[in-house]
C-alpha cells in the first residue's frame, strides 16, 4: 500500500465542475488500494477529495500548517492529522510520507508543491512518480510553456516526459500504480 500525495486547490469559489477530477481521483486511489496524503483542509478540491476518499474507505492523512489556520478549516474527520508550523514543513512532510504525487487543478500553492517535488526529482533527491490530471485542459498552457522551456534548453530534454499527464484520473492512477508495483 502506497501513500499518494495529492496537490489541489482549496478555494470554495471554484466552479463545481472541477469537483469531478477530485472525486474520480479519490475513486482511483480507492480502487488501487492506496492511501491519500493531502493538505488537511475541508475547503475546495481538498475537501472534495478528502470527503470522497473517506467515504470510500481510503485511509486519509492530512498535513496542515498552522500558517493557514486563519484561511482554511482543518478537516477533523481524517484518519491522521499531522500539524506543522509552516508551508515549508508541510512540503517536507509530504515528500517524506508519500510514494507518488498527483496534481489536480489548483492555484499558486498547488503549483508550488508540484514544482518543488518535480525539481527535487530532477536533481536526484527522489525518484517517486509524479502526475498531473489535466482535467478540461486546465494545464494545457502550462504544458505548452514547459515544452518551450525544454526547447530553449532551460531544462533537460525529457523533463516534461518524466511527469505522467492524463486528462482523466483513472488512467493516470493506473500508470502511477504500475510504477509503484514494478
Place of cell 502550462: 142
Distances, alpha carbon 125 to alpha carbons 5, 20, 128, 151, 179, in Å = 17, 33, 9, 24, 18
Three-class SS state of 17: helix
Domains contained in the chain, CATH given: 3-181 (3.40.50.450)
Residue 158 has pLDDT above 90, yes or no: no
The cell for 1 is 500500500
82-113, pLDDT tens digit by residue? 999 999 999 999 999 999 999 999 999 999 99
Instruction: Name every residue whose Cβ is closer than 8 Å to that of residue 159 and which is 6 or more positions away in sequence.
Output: 122, 146, 149, 150
The whole-angstrom separation of Cα 120 and Cα 133 is 20
pLDDT band at 146 (very low <50, low <70, confident <90, very high): very high
Place of cell 488500494: 33
47-83, pLDDT tens digit by residue? 999 999 999 999 999 999 988 777 887 888 999 999 9
Determine contact, residues 6/49, Cβ cutoff 8 Å. Answer: yes
Place of cell 478528502: 50
pLDDT band at 182 (very low <50, low <70, confident <90, very high): confident
The whole-angstrom separation of Cα 141 and Cα 128 is 25
The pTM (predicted TM-score) of the whole model is 0.96
Amino acid at each position: 500500500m502506497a501513500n499518494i500525495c495529492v496537490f489541489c486547490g482549496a478555494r470554495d469559489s471554484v466552479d463545481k465542475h472541477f469537483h469531478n477530477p477530485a472525486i474520480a481521483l479519490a475513486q482511483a486511489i480507492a480502487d488501487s488500494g492506496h492511501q491519500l496524503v493531502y493538505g488537511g483542509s475541508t475547503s475546495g478540491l481538498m475537501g472534495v477529495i478528502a470527503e470522497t476518499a473517506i467515504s470510500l474507505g481510503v485511509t486519509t492523512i492530512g498535513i496542515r500548517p498552522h500558517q493557514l489556520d486563519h484561511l482554511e478549516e482543518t478537516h477533523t474527520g481524517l484518519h491522521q492529522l499531522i500539524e506543522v508550523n509552516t508551508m515549508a514543513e508541510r512540503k517536507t512532510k509530504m515528500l517524506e510520507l508519500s510514494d507518488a504525487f498527483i496534481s489536480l487543478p489548483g492555484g499558486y500553492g498547488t503549483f508550488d508543491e508540484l514544482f518543488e517535488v518535480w525539481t527535487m526529482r530532477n536533481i536526484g533527491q527522489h525518484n517517486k512518480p509524479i502526475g498531473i490530471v489535466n482535467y478540461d485542459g486546465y494545464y494545457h498552457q502550462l504544458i505548452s510553456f514547459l515544452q518551450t522551456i525544454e526547447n530553449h534548453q532551460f531544462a533537460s530534454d525529457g523533463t516534461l516526459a518524466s511527469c505522467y499527464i492524463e486528462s482523466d484520473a483513472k488512467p493516470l492512477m493506473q500508470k502511477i500504480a504500475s510504477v509503484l508495483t514494478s
